[in-house]
Structure 1
Amino acid sequence: MERIRTVIAYKNYFKDFLIEQPQKVQDKVFKIIEIIEFQQQIPEKYLKHLKGTKGLYEARIKLGSDIWRVFCFFDKGRLVILLNGFQKKSQKTPKSEIDRALKLMNEYYEEKGG
């Protein structure tokens, strides 16, 4: 199968989140990343655009009744940048987590020079 997108992590935010998770969650996260890399059309149950944000997405991980989210965005179309992640404890994604992801996305573009 041919890779359609490249997924990379911005700084250590994603890695720091990932190593705190149980192995089953880590495995599921890697499965979702694989779907993002290799599937032309990514089902919304795995990757969803957050309304009201400029290009911020959440990768959606569900294991049993537990839910995790990893924020990401597209840079130059085929490059996906992973940001922070968290375990979701309520129906609504906390504004503080979205704000943090937006801050990291802006930081990424500032460092990149654009």
Structure 2
Amino acid sequence: MDYKFKVEFLEPVIEFLESLDEKSREKILYNIWKSRSVNDNELFKKLDNEIWEFRTLYNKQYFRLFAFWDKSNKQDTIVISTHGIIKKTDKTPKVEIERAESLRIKYFNEKK
């Protein structure tokens, strides 16, 4: 199978995933794996200029992992996932998008 991008997790994502039950974690990881090969806004959706989200609905809970693209490596396109939440409302909280943007800036500053 041909993948469009690789996915890497920052520490807050790993902590978030470890805090979940095994079935929820497996469903999220499956959706991320699937989103690498199919274009589906239900799985991976752009939120603003630079921030995207991996989307999972499982057991009536909405899981979101925030992410951004790192295209600096010409061989591989990488999506960096910053952190995760269990969404309580229809709208994605602005503070979470801002947190993802802050982590994106920090990532690229440290990469230089």
Contact 1:35 1:42 in 2 (8 A): no
Between Structure 1 and Structure 2, how many residues are aligned? 108
Correspondence 1:49 to 2:46: yes
Question: Match for 1:109: what amino acid?
Answer: F
Runs of 4+ in 1 over 2 A off after TM superposition: none
* Unaligned stretches of 5+ residues in structure 1: none
How much does 1:32 deviate? 1.3
Aligned to 2:62: 67
* Unaligned stretches of 5+ residues in structure 2: none
How much does 1:97 deviate? 1.1
Aligned to 2:35: 36
Contact 1:59 1:71 in 2 (8 A): yes
Q: Give RMSD over aligned pairs.
A: 1.4
Find the aligned partners of 1:79 and 1:86 in 2 and give their Cα distance: 21
Identity %: 31
How much does 1:62 deviate? 0.3
How much does 1:65 deviate? 1.7
How much does 1:78 deviate? 1.8
Question: Match for 2:87: what amino acid?
Answer: K
Deviations 1:65-104 (A, max 9, x none): 2101000111117211111000001111111111111110
